[in-house]
Amino acid sequence: MIRTKLVSLVFFIVTASISAQKKQISLEEIWTGAFRTQGMSSLHSMNNGQQYSVLNRNRKDNTSTIDIYDYKTLTKVSTLVNSATIKDIQNFSSYTFSADESKVILATNIQPVFRRSRLGKYYVYDTKTNGLTLISENLIQEPTLSSDGTKVAYGFNNNLYVKEFKTGKTTQITFDGEKNKIINGITDWVYEEEFAFVRAFEWNAADNKIAFLRFDETKVPEFSMDVYGQALYQKQQVFKYPKAGEANSVVSLHIYDLATNTTKAVQLKKTYKDFYIPRIKWTNKPNVLSAQYMNRHQNELDLWMIDANTNTATLALAEKDKAYIDITSNLTFLKDHSFIWTSEKDGYNHIYHYKDDGTLINQITKGAWEVTNYYGYDNKTNKIYYQSVENGSINRDVYAVQLNGKKKTRLTKADGTNNAAFSADFTYFINTFSSATTAPKYTLNASNNGKVIKHIIDNTKVLNKLNAYAISKKEFSTLNVNGHELNMWMIKPANFDPNKTYPLFMYQYSGPGSQQVANRWNGANDYWYQHLAQKGYVIACVDGRGTGFKGADFKKITQKELGKYEVEDQIEAAKTLGKLSFIDASRIGIWGWSYGGFMSSNALFKGDGVFSMAIAVAPVTSWRFYDSIYTERYMTTPQENPSGYDDNSPINHVDKLKGDYLLIHGTADDNVHVQNTMRMVEALIQADKQFEWMLYPDKNHGIFGGNTRLHLYKKMTNFIDQKLGDKI
C-alpha cells in the first residue's frame, strides 16, 4: 500500500489553473545550465580555524585566485594567490596546501586518465616569498607535500620521486615501474574505481619516511578500447582490467627511508593469499604505520600496526562479516594513540573507540539508524562530529557527541540533507543544506549548538527563476512491497487530475548500499523529470531491498544474488502503482544508468509485460563482464557462484523481452565496457527480438561533452514519447 499525505481536490484545481499560465522547462535549458546552482569551490579551512580559502575562477579573463575569508564576518581578508600576477601560470584548476600552509600546490594542464586519476603540470607556490617552483617538466600524478613543505613526492611513469625545494634535487625512489606491468605509489584501475583512491603513498609525521603500495599487474588480463577521434586511423587504448574471477594485481606494501635512501617490504606475521590493501595511514607516532588488509571475498578485514624501524607488525583489529565489509577513510588517531573506527558489526554503521592495541573502549553511537559521514574529533571539547539518518532514512543531519557517547546534540534543524565542512579548530562549520524543494544553501554555523551565524549562499536566483515554471512537488511516501516498507518519491503533472489516467515512468539505480529516494536537490535529472511531468507523465522512484541506510540486513540481502530481490521489488512496485486509479497500467516504463541499466533491462525482460518499455544506459548485462573488486564483494567469484551470475544477468533473459527496449552506451567506457552492450545486441538478434540502440563515439561512462548530454536526453525523451505518450 502507498502511504502519503492526501491533498484536496481544491488544491489540484488551483494548481491546474496556475500551471497553465507558467512556462515549460525545455531540454535545452536543462543542458545549457540555465538552472545551475552556485556553490563553494575547493573549500579549505585554514589552520588558525578562523579563516577559510576558496578557489575563485574568473571566466572572462581566464584567471584563478585563492581567496581567504573570515569565518565570523564572511568578508574576504586577502587574495593568497592570483594567477594574473604569476608569470608562468595563466590559471589553475585546483590547489592543495602543505600541512603547515607554507606551500600550496597549483594544478595546471590537467588531463584525465580514468574516473579519479589525472595527469598534469604542477607548481608549488611559496606563501611567504611568493616564489613559484615547477615540480617537473613532465606530466605527473598526485604530487603531495611533506608536512613542513620542504619536499614533494609524486608519481611519474609508474615510479615514485621526491623533490627537495632547497637544493632542487630530485630523487627517484622506485625504478621498476612499467606500463601495464608494475605501478608504484599509484593505484591500478580497479583499486581507483572500487576503493576510491589514486594516491597510494603517504608521508609519515616526521617527513622522513614514505609508505607506498606496489602493484604487479603482469598477470592481469588486458582490455582494449578503440578511440576513433578525428584521425584517419583509430587508436587503441589498452589497460589492465581484472574481470570477476580473473587474476588481480599482486599488491605489496613498502616503506622508503629518506635518510638512508633504502626501501623495505613490510613483513607480517600472517600469510595472505590473493588479498587487497585498501587503506594505509601513518599514525601519530612517526614510525608506526597502519595498514588494512582484506581477503578477496572482502568479508575479513585486518588492521595492522607496523613499526617501520623494526619492520614488525601487530594485529590491532580483525573484523568478519557474513557478507562483506565496506571500506571507509574514517580511521582517526587521537593524541593518546587510541583510534576511532566505524563499523556495521552491530547491524548498523556506527562509531567505535579503541585503544591502540585494538581493545574496545566503547561504542560511541548506537541505534537502529546509520552514521553516514564522520567529520572528525575535537580534542579540546572531546566531541565527535558526524552525519546520520537518525531523522529518517531519506534525511541527513549533523550531530555532535562526546567521545564517551554521551550528550548527543543535533546541530542542524531543517529536514532535508545537511552536510558540514568544519573549521580546523571546530569552532565553526559551513553547512550545505538542500531538500527536494530547496536549492543548496550554504550557512555559517556554530559548532557548539549549530546556530546559524550567517547566510553565505542561498541560490534564490534559481528558485525565483523556477517560480516562473510549472513545477510539480516531489512527494515522498512509502510503498509496501514484498513485506517491506520501501521509500518512494513521486512527481505528478502540475495540472494533475485524479480523475484521469497517466502513463508511469519509473527510475531506479538499486546498487548495494545506494539511495535515490533522498530529500535533497537533485539538479539535472529532476529538471528532466519535471519536463516529463509537464508532458503528462507520472514519474516515480522506489528504493528496493539492497539499497542503503536501513541497516546491514536490508542492504546485504542481495548477497550472491545481485539482480534478484531488487528486480522483484521493482516489478512488484510497478504492479502496485499500476493499481492506482490515476495510473494506466498498460503504459509503465522504467529506466536506469549503469547498475540502473542492468536493473531496467532485467525488469523489462523478467516483468512478463508489467513494463511496456525500458531504457538502459551503459548497463552491465552480465556480471561476468564487470570488475573483480566490485562484483566479487557481492557475488564471490563466478567459479564459486555461477548460478548467481547467470540467473540474474539480463543477457540470459532476452528471449522473455516483451515491449520496447532502448539500449545506450559510450564506446570509450572504461568502467562498464561497451562489450556489455555488444554482447546484449548479439543475444537480442539471435533471439529475433526487435529493439533500438545508440552508441556515443569515444564517450566514457558519463556520456558527456559538447552537445552529447542534450542529444542523449532528447533521444530518451523521444523514445518515451513514442512508446508511452501516444495517448497523452
C-beta neighbour count of 659 within 10 angstroms = 18
Among residues 350, 353, 531, 701, the one annotated as catalytic is 701
Domain identity same for 11 and 69 = no
Compute the distance between CA of residue 302 and CA of residue 313 in angstroms, rounded to an integer.
12
Q: Is 666 contained in some domain?
A: yes
Is 337 a catalytic site residue?
no
Residue where a domain stops, chosen among 300, 327, 354: 327
Instruction: Give the per-residue pLDDT at 7.
Output: 33
Instruction: Give the per-residue pLDDT at 19.
Output: 47
Domain, as residue range, for 288: 266-327
* Interval 449-508: pLDDT, tens: 999 999 999 999 999 999 999 999 999 999 999 999 999 999 999 999 999 999 999 999
Compute the distance between CA of residue 299 and CA of residue 8 in angstroms, rounded to an integer.
51
Q: Is 393 contained in some domain?
A: no
Among residues 594, 600, 601, 612, the one annotated as catalytic is 594
Domain identity same for 536 and 555 = yes
* Interval 591-621: pLDDT, tens: 999 999 999 999 999 999 999 999 999 999 9
| Total number of domains constituting the chain | 3
* Interval 213-235: pLDDT, tens: 999 999 999 999 999 999 999 99
Among residues 447, 669, 670, 673, the one annotated as catalytic is 669
Domain identity same for 14 and 59 = no
Is 569 a catalytic site residue?
no
pTM over 0.85: yes
Compute the distance between CA of residue 31 and CA of residue 35 in angstroms, rounded to an integer.
9
| DSSP secondary structure of 124-173 | EEETTT--EEES-SS-BEEEEE-TTSSEEEEEETTEEEEEETTT--EEE-
Compute the distance between CA of residue 212 and CA of residue 615 in angstroms, rounded to an integer.
43
pLDDT surpasses 80 at 8? no
Instruction: Give the per-residue pLDDT at 380.
Output: 95
Q: Is 24 contained in some domain?
A: yes
Stronger pLDDT, 579 or 57, i.e. the higher one: 579
Is 594 a catalytic site residue?
yes
Band (pLDDT 50/70/90 cuts) for residue 363 is very high
Residue where a domain stops, chosen among 327, 352, 378: 327
Domain of 712, CATH number, reads 3.40.50.1820
As a whole number, mean pLDDT of residues 696-718 equals 97
Residue where a domain stops, chosen among 327, 358, 379: 327
Q: Is 276 contained in some domain?
A: yes
- Percent with pLDDT over 70 in the chain: 97
pLDDT surpasses 70 at 15? no
Instruction: Give the per-residue pLDDT at 20.
Output: 52
As a whole number, mean pLDDT of residues 96-112 equals 95
* Interval 512-563: pLDDT, tens: 999 999 999 998 999 999 999 999 999 999 999 999 999 999 999 999 999 9
3-state DSSP assignment of residue 651: helix
3-state DSSP assignment of residue 96: strand
pLDDT surpasses 50 at 690? yes
- Percent with pLDDT over 90 in the chain: 94
| DSSP secondary structure of 253-287 | EEEEETTTTEEEE---SS--SSEEEEEEEE-SSTT
